[in-house]
Structure 1
Amino acid sequence: MTFTFRHLTSSAAALLAEHDEQRIRAIRSRRWVLYPRAKQALDRLRGLLDQPRGTRMPSIAIYGDSGMGKTMIMKQFRDEHPPNFNTVTGVLTTPVLAMEMTSRPGERRFYAELLTLLGAPSRPRADIAQMEQAAMRILEAIGVQVLVIDEVHNLLAGSYREQRIVLNTLRFLSNRLQISLVCFGVNEAREAISGDVQLARRFEQLTFSRWAANEQFEALIGSILRNMPLRHPSVLTPNALRRILQITDGITAGIFRLITDLAIAAIESGEERITDEAVQRWEPAFQGETAVA
C-alpha cells in the first residue's frame, strides 16, 4: 500500500486492502478498543499480578451500569494472561482465573461452578468440605494469583445468610491461597460486597459512570474512530458529540453500536467517513439494550 492513513491504527489501516464486505465484517466483529478509561482499569488490574503474596491481598471492585464495558475489560485482562503449559516441567500455570457469580448464590453452587471451570471431575455426592479442599488444591497447583468474578451483584438474589456465606468463602480463599480478588458488577453490587466489612476494606473501588460531554468522552470517540477502517478521517463537531450522548444516554455499548452502524453506512455509501449529518440522521434499527456489560 502506497498511502499512509495516519487517522487509523495499524490494524485498522491494514483492513483497507480488503474488500468492502470483509471490512464490514471486521467492523461488526467485537474487537478490543483501548480507550483511556479502559487503560486505567487494566493498569490497576495488571498491578495485582506484581503484588507480593500475603494474607491480606489487595483487591479491586469495578462497578457501573449495564453496558458500560465492564465485561469486555474483564475478558481483555483474562486474555492477556492465558493459561501457560510448560512443556519442559509439565506444569500448567493460570495466573488469572475468571468466573461468573452463580445466579442463585450459595456455597455449594459457588464451589460447583468453580470446580467445573477448573475442569475437575464431577462428584455429585461430595460434601462442601470436600469441594472446598478440591478447589483449593487445584487453584494452588495451577498458580492462580487473581480470581476474577463477574456479575457479582447476583449475590443479591440470595438471602442475607447466603450472601454472608459466599462472601466468607471469598475472603477465606483470598487469605488461604494469598490471591487477589477482582469483582465486576452493576452499581448495586456495592451493597453485596459491603455485607462483609473485612472483605470490603480490601477492595479499591472503580466506578464506570455514564459518559458526559468532556475530554474523556472525546478520547473515547477518537479511540473508536481510529479503529474503524474508513479511508478518510471522521471529524465530528461538538454538536455531533452531544447528539451521540443524547441518543445513547452515555452508555458505552450504545456508543459503540452507533459508530459501528455509521461506519458500515459510510462504506456502503462510498463516503468513507462519518459526518455530522450522518450522526444527526442516525436512528437505531430497533429499541433495546446492547448485550455488552
Structure 2
Amino acid sequence: MRIMEAIGVQVLVIDEVHNILAGSYREQRVVLNTLRFLSNRLQISLVCFGVNEAREAISGDVQLARRFEQFTLNRWAADEQFEALVASILRNTPLRNPSVLSPNSLRWMLQVTEGITANIFHLINNLAVEAVETGREQICDEAVESWRPEIDMEAAFA
C-alpha cells in the first residue's frame, strides 16, 4: 500500500475478478473487504474484468458493488473495427516480417474465435509462435487458414 501511495496509483485494474468465487465464503469476504479498503484508503478507482460471473463476485459486497458501472463487451463483428484490431495486434507482434491478412483470413479468424477478444489474441499468439518456429517470421493467410485450435481431450470427455 505504501508503494501504491508513493507512486501515485490512481486506478487499480483487476483481471479475472470472477475467480473470487473460487474461494470459500470467508475468503471471498476477505478479498472484497480488501478491495473496498484499498479504494477508500488510497482514494483510487477500481476497474475489474471478468466473465459474467464477475458481477456475482462483486455483488457479494453491496457497498463495493455500488461503485461499479457494468459494461458488457460485445463479440467482434466483421467490420472495420475488427480489421483495425487485428492490424494493430499484428503490427505489435515482434516478428521480423510484416503480416498482412486477406479479408478471407480475417473472416475465418472471426469465425474460429467466435468474435471473443481473448480467443483472437490466443489465435494470433499461437500463429506468431508458429511463425518464429518455422523461420517464416510473419503471419500469412495460409498459416491462418490452416490453424486449428488445440483440443483439451480431458475437457472434451469430462
Fold match (TM-score > 0.5): yes
Instruction: Please identify, of 182-191 and 158-167, the stretch whose mean Cα deviation from structure 2 is larger.
Output: 158-167
What is the distance in 2 between the residues matched to 1:235 and 1:283? 17
Residue 221 of structure 1 and its aligned partner are, at CA, apart by: 1.6
The TM-score with structure 1 as length reference comes to 0.40
What is the distance in 1 between the residues matched to 2:59 and 2:75? 23
For residue 88 of structure 2, what is the aligned residue in structure 1? 223
Letter in 2 for 1:229: R
Change (3 A) 1:225 1:168: closer
**Deviation readout 1:57-90 (Å, 9 max, x if unpaired):** xxxxxxxxxxxxxxxxxxxxxxxxxxxxxxxxxx
Residue 187 of structure 1 and its aligned partner are, at CA, apart by: 2.6
What is the distance in 2 between the residues matched to 1:243 and 1:141? 47
Determine if contact 1:167/1:193 at 8 Å carries over to the other structure. yes
Letter in 2 for 1:230: N
Aligned match for 2:148, one of 263, 277, 283 = 283
Q: Does 1:149 align with 2:14?
A: yes
Q: Which residues in structure 2 correspond to 1:94-105 (within 5 Å)?
A: none
Determine if contact 1:211/1:217 at 8 Å carries over to the other structure. yes
Aligned match for 2:121, one of 247, 253, 256 = 253
The TM-score with structure 2 as length reference comes to 0.67
Q: Helix, strand or coil: the match of 1:203?
A: coil
What is the distance in 1 between the residues matched to 2:29 and 2:125? 38
What is the distance in 1 between the residues matched to 2:139 and 2:44? 47
Using CA pairs under 8 Å that are at least 6 residues apart, name the structure with larger relative contact order, 1 or 2.
1
Residue 241 of structure 1 and its aligned partner are, at CA, apart by: 1.6
Determine if contact 1:149/1:184 at 8 Å carries over to the other structure. yes
Change (3 A) 1:174 1:224: closer
What is the distance in 2 between the residues matched to 1:242 and 1:185? 26
Q: Helix, strand or coil: the match of 2:69?
A: strand
Q: Helix, strand or coil: the match of 2:87?
A: helix
What is the distance in 1 between the residues matched to 2:89 and 2:13? 26
* Bigger helix fraction: 2
What is the distance in 2 between the residues matched to 1:209 and 1:254? 18
